[in-house]
């Protein structure tokens, strides 16, 4: 018998379950003859905002655009500094830089790997215009102290909730905690499109309307552009497909949490530490990132046993070639350590129990 192979993700498995509904939604949109900013987008904006507990939703082309448009809507312009974390790949940082603002990196907490309020506080200057915490791996940043800090300095908080559909802090879901919140529907996300997509959530209708205008060339009425805007619209097809998937998101998140619980029960290798959960919150395990001082050797050991892994993320944003000339601050020791040690194990709702057991047993058989 062939050895068990465990893929890092499996979109086909999800499609197999939802095929008839997804195919019907696809045909409905194609037959409607209306492909941009129509009923599907409006309905999905309302349904996703309601699911998160937010008042307003604005569908956009990607999570990166959601972040850029949120910054634009809040008038975060050249010269502004935005405090964020450097351990989540580059999209958040790219959005800030593309907007002409300057990312200032605060270090992350050693357990959750989300933005440290104490470190963010010491990075505030008269040019700081926003805090941009990232709800990393499916867990909310420690928002209450961050919101207090922002209030003291009269600046907004933009949530990067691109990895955190359904994560919560007490009764409040990601997407309702800051001034604006940004989601991605990239296919691997807990709620993923069949392509790219994103959304900005807001409690304030005025701000949401501004994002609506910005995503559509800056117009609120066709061919009348009142402000400088761009084209970043979620399309009708993606919205219709996401509407099929949204009713399954709660159960999918439950299954992710269940798999994380199984990993916690089954993995007991002293060389590998498991992700920390913030008390009082719900971690929805977009990613299951373990840490290991010999991370590359662990990845190779898993690969040899047919288990695919990924590194989220191997380089702090300030070490990326594209940002070198900007001379961004790099004094973030926890971020450095995390980037050198994290390794994501397969975790998605369709992962079978025997696959989970195989991954755990393979981690346990790793000898550093
Ligand atoms: C934390 C974070 N921010 C932003 C993004 C950007 O989202 P997108 O890929 O939809 O542009 C992603 C996803 O890739 C992400 O994980």
**Tens digit of pLDDT at every position of the chain (368 positions):** 468 999 999 999 999 999 999 999 999 999 999 999 999 999 999 999 999 999 999 999 999 999 999 999 999 999 999 999 999 999 999 999 999 999 999 999 999 999 999 999 999 999 999 999 999 999 999 999 999 999 999 999 999 999 999 999 999 999 999 999 999 999 999 999 999 999 999 999 999 999 999 999 999 999 999 999 999 999 999 999 999 999 999 999 999 999 999 999 999 999 999 999 999 999 999 999 999 999 999 999 999 999 999 999 999 999 999 999 999 999 999 999 999 999 999 999 999 999 999 999 999 999 98
The CATH number for 114's domain is 3.40.640.10
Residue 89 shares a structural domain with residue 190: yes
**CA–CA separation, 317 and 206 (whole Å):** 33
- Please give the tally of structural domains in the chain: 2
Q: Does residue 138's CB lie within 6 angstroms of at least one atom of ligand 1?
A: no
Q: How remote is the CA of residue 97 from the centroid of ligand 1, in Å?
A: 15
Kindly state the DSSP code that residue 104 receives in the 8-state scheme. Answer: E
Three-state DSSP state, 101: coil
- Residue 160 CA, ligand 1 centroid: distance in Å: 8
Residue 4 lies in a domain: no
* Ligand 1 contact via 114 beta carbon (within 6 Å): no
* Assigned domain for 2 exists: no
Q: Which of 199, 230, 246 is the last residue of a domain?
A: 246
Beta strands in the chain (DSSP E): 56-60, 81-84, 102-105, 128-132, 158-160, 168-169, 172-173, 180-184, 198-202, 219-221, 224-225, 272-273, 281-282, 288-292, 342-345
172 in the same domain as 161: yes
The CA distance from 18 to 253, in Å, is 17
pTM of the shown model:
0.98
Task: Return the best residue to mutate from 64, 97, 188, 312 for the ligand 1 pocket (most ligand atoms within 8 A of CB).
Answer: 64
The protein residue with its alpha carbon nearest to ligand 1, atom 12, reads 162
Print the domain residue range for 138: 12-246
Cβ of residue 344 lying under 6 Å from some atom of ligand 1? no
d(CA 75, CA 54) in angstroms, rounded, equals 22
**Residue 155 and residue 205 in one domain:** yes
Ligand 1 pocket member 14 (CB < 6 A): no
Compute the distance between CA of residue 122 and CA of residue 64 in angstroms, rounded to an integer: 27
Residue 357 within a domain: yes
Coil, helix or strand at residue 247: helix
In this structure, the residue with its CA closest to atom 15 of ligand 1 is 162
Ligand 1 atom with minimal separation from the 64 CA: 11
Ligand 1 centroid, distance to 68 Cα (angstroms): 11
134 and 94: one domain? yes
């Amino acid at each position: 018998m062939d050895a068990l192979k465990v893929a890092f993700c499996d979109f086909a498995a999800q499609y197999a379950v939802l095929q008839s509904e997804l195919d019907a939604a696809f045909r409905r949109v194609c037959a409607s003859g209306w492909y941009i900013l129509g009923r599907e987008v409006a309905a999905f904006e309302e349904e996703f905002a309601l699911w998160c507990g937010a008042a307003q939703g604005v569908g956009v082309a990607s999570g990166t655009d959601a972040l850029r448009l949120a910054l634009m809507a809040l008038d975060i312009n050249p010269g502004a500094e935005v405090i964020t974390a450097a351990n989540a790949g580059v999209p958040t940082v790219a959005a800030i830089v593309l907007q002409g603002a300057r990312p200032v990196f605060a270090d992350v907490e050693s357990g959750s790997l989300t933005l440290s309020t104490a470190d963010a506080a010491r990075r505030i200057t008269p040019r700081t215009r926003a805090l941009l915490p990232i709800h990393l791996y499916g867990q909310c940043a420690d928002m209450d102290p961050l919101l207090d800090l922002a209030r003291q300095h009269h600046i907004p908080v933009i949530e990067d909730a691109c990895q955190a559909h359904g994560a919560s802090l007490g009764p409040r879901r990601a997407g309702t905690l800051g001034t604006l919140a940004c989601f991605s529907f990239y296919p691997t996300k807990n709620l993923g499109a069949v392509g790219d997509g994103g959304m900005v959530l807001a409690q304030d209708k005025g701000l949401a309307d501004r994002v609506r205008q910005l995503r559509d060339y800056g117009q609120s009425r066709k061919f009348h552009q009142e402000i400088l805007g761009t084209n970043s619209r979620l399309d009708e097809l993606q919205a219709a497909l996401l509407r099929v998937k949204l009713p399954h998101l709660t159960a999918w998140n439950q299954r992710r949490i269940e798999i994380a619980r199984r990993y916690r029960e089954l993995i007991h290798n002293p060389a590998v530490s498991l992700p920390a959960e913030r008390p009082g919150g719900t971690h929805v395990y977009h990613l299951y990132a373990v840490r290991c001082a010999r991370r590359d050797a662990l990845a190779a050991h898993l690969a040899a046993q047919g288990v695919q892994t990924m590194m989220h993320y191997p380089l702090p944003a300030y070490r990326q070639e594209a940002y070198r000339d900007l001379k961004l601050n790099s004094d973030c020791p926890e971020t450095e350590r995390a980037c050198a040690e994290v390794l994501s194990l397969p975790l998605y709702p369709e992962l079978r129990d025997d696959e989970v057991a195989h991954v755990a047993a393979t981690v346990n058989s790793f000898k550093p």
